[in-house]
Structure 1
């Protein structure tokens, strides 16, 4: 079973995550979206509250600030764009070499005399 603190932390993290990140949270924790839906309904109904929280008791995971979430998102995007740029440069290099090869083949074909038939 999951503790109340864990359920509340996951619901909060899930709700604060951008749409593309929600599945990653579920995979990381080994959960299904039905868990989060059920826990959200329980929280909204007041079933997950166990009285006032004790500020001296730390939660399992510290909550991320909006700036931290945005920074992580931008770092992931930057890494993806860097990878895309590397692929594009490699493709352009290959296309340049292929173009040079085709030019060379075309020039050599123009210089050859066509075979004569008897």
Structure 2
């Protein structure tokens, strides 16, 4: 796990929840052939490129939800619905899930930072 890998993964997460699930767009993964490839680092992929793509995915998601109600819903695939329990998910549910995703991965980033500088606690 690396910081760049986390950003790549969050890029995939942004695309998946806002463009695929909420807006119903059929889009390929951003990095590689599957959503799990987001963690894979390629030597020719620069930090600036990854950060720009992540920011673009965030901006696209914001565009898609700008005029939406939190009660509007998107649709999960059958496979994804198996983890959630239902194929229909509201924008409210997606937004809460995104908070969970970012909180979880911010924790991962903090562990990586602690391993580098040794600082723990407040």
Greater fraction of residues in helix: 1
Greater fraction of residues in strand: 2
- Tell me, yes or no, whether TM beats 0.5: no
Q: Which of these two proteins has the greater Rg computed from alpha carbons?
A: 1
TM-score in terms of structure 1 length: 0.29
TM-score in terms of structure 2 length: 0.29
